[in-house]
Structures are given as structure tokens and as C-alpha cells.
Amino acid sequence: MQSIELIVRHKVGLHARPAAMFVETAKSFSSKISVSKNSRTVDAKSILAVLTLGVGQGDTIRITAEGPDETEAIQKLQNLIESNFGMPDEQ
């Protein structure tokens, strides 16, 4: 099992398009992947679950992956968040 803590910097956090991109990326892996904010943990492959976390700009999340492609899953999701979901940061 691998996990990483990251700060979400996108202006809308993990909502709308960034959340959809996050979930689609998570779904591309066979590992079990979860995302946590504070003490709440949800399935990273469920758009509704991810949206219920209410992750906003500046929030810290923990991504955990367990399975045969856990290392690659963590890396891809980290890259997605650190690249600001490939979108310009309009602050």
C-alpha cells in the first residue's frame, strides 16, 4: 500500500471538471484507490463520493492505493494534481 499527501491548488478544488479528471484517472488502474480529507475517506473511483468530500483550493488530501499498479496510480494522480489538472490557474 502506498499513500501521499498533496495540497489541491486548483481554484475550484476537486469539483466539476477536476473531480471528473481525478476519478477517470483513478478508474484507469486496477488497484483500490481512496482519497481522504480530514478524517473522511472515500472511493477515488466514484465521482459522487469524491464530490462529497468538499475539497477546496488549499485543502490537503491523502491518496492511498493498494494493488498491482499502486505505484503508477499514485504517480499519475500526483502528477494530475500538481499540474493543476492541466488547466491554467486563474486566481
Residues noted as catalytic:
15
Q: Which of 77, 62, 61, 71 is nearest to 27 (CA)?
A: 77
Does residue 28 contact residue 34 with C-beta atoms inside 8 Å? no
**Beta-bridge mates of residue 35:** 42, 63
